[in-house]
Amino acid sequence: MTWLRSARTATGELVDLRIADGVIADVQPASGRVDGGDVDLTGHVLLPSFVEPHAHLDKALTAARAHNVTGDLLGAIDAMRTLSLGMTVEEIAERADAAIRIQLAWGTTAIRTHVNVGGESGLRALDALIEVRERWHGTVDLQLVALVHNPLSGQPGRDLRTALRNGADVAGGCPHLDPEPDRAVAICLDAAGEAGVPLDLHTDETLDPGRLTLATMADLVRRTGFAHGVTASHCVSLGVQSEIVQRTVSDAVAEAGIAVVALPQTNLFLQGRENPQATPRGLTAVGPLRRAGATLAAGGDNLRDPFHPLGRGDALEVATLMVTAGHLDPAAAIDSVTAASRSALGLRPVTLSTGAPADLVAIAGTDLLDVLGAAPAARTVWKAGRIVARTTVHSSIADPALAVPEAVS
């Protein structure tokens, strides 16, 4: 049993929390006391730990070796395809492990990663990530999405079923890049249904308004009654549709129970290069989706690879972009990387209330806005009530000169 003392909540209250058997056992107004064995969180904001709903751990940390010549999506795909031919299971696992450590230090305790399968790479990346998933079991929840090539009506569709039989947790794909996009959505949905697993598709990662497979997804999910959970990632083209189309599709997405994952870092980097004037933001229709009641999560997507050469692996970086580029208020932005992302992955909700899982992150700061604005590195992370990461920071800053230098005549 452990008490976390004098923690500031996202809504501003000061509380003491008791953790026992992996859950929050009690929440009380802060007493001001700190006994031996307690964790003093004075000057910290306590939040549910972060959830990364869309990563690519098999590609992470390769930017220095795989240069995206054109800077766009197809350039990134080409750069990664060339590099992946020489990758070994050991190397992929090593980089994925390093990326998880980066994200865990910032407070992320659950990650859904898409893993390339099929083609010349076969199942190497999946084998590597299965090994990593087992290694981190109990510390970081890792879900593996089988990301296959196109056309889905050919060998890639068979590769998807093979990957699901060999340890992938979620069915994936990129139907909007398929010669038959609508048919590709149906193939992926059928594969997921046969395996009894969730579906998470790269959806409409383009500014072309003529591509809108999200509408197809919503229609198929509603008509088939698919019950294993569906996530649509990216959904960029929805952001350039007319107001009526945005509203109609958003309503259909909400009715179908599809979670949408916005990925501001990668899509701001990749999209819009063909429009040097009045460059579009390259994000999904954040406002219409939220007004429709759809689950809107946000993720980091790529961590220092050809699809996005930068990134700290910090969910607060994503949340900040959801404020700046997505125009969310700070509380909603934090929700997009905590509660909404957790819902998209089908995970048990985490709230600062009795009985909730003790998956938490304490961040140095005075309030939620301070934490989001400064994104301090000083953090403590709990998974099931156990401290799994702690970062401390010490700064030494010189005092300004007190004496004014005499004027030289």
CA-to-CA distance for 336 and 395, rounded, in angstroms?
Answer: 31
Alpha helices in 199-274 (DSSP H): 213-224, 243-256, 264-270
Residue 210: strand, helix, or coil: coil
Active-site residue, selected from the candidate residues 180, 194, 205, 274: 205
Query: CA triplet 25, 366, 23: central angle to 5 degrees?
Result: 15
Distant-in-sequence, close-in-space partners of 120: CB < 8 Å, separation ≥ 6: 84, 85
Residue reference for tokens 């990301």 = 147
Residue reference for tokens 């009526």 = 244
Angle between helices 124-135 and 89-106 (to 10 degrees): 40
Distant-in-sequence, close-in-space partners of 156: CB < 8 Å, separation ≥ 6: 118, 119, 148, 149, 150, 173
CA-to-CA distance for 114 and 170, rounded, in angstroms?
Answer: 9
Residue 252: strand, helix, or coil: helix
Give the residue from 220, 171, 180 showing the smallest Cα distance to 199: 171
φ, ψ for residue 227, nearest 5 deg: -120, 15
CA-to-CA distance for 311 and 63, rounded, in angstroms?
Answer: 11
Tell the burial category of 54 from Cβ atoms under 10 Å away from its Cβ (0-12, 13-18, 19+).
buried
CA-to-CA distance for 189 and 177, rounded, in angstroms?
Answer: 16
Tell the burial category of 245 from Cβ atoms under 10 Å away from its Cβ (0-12, 13-18, 19+).
middle
Give the residue from 206, 191, 199, 218 showing the smallest Cα distance to 114: 199
Query: CA triplet 210, 295, 374: central angle to 5 degrees?
Result: 105
User: Does residue 243 have an active-site annotation?
Assistant: no
Contact 213, 232 (CB under 8 A): no
Q: Which residues are catalytic?
A: 205
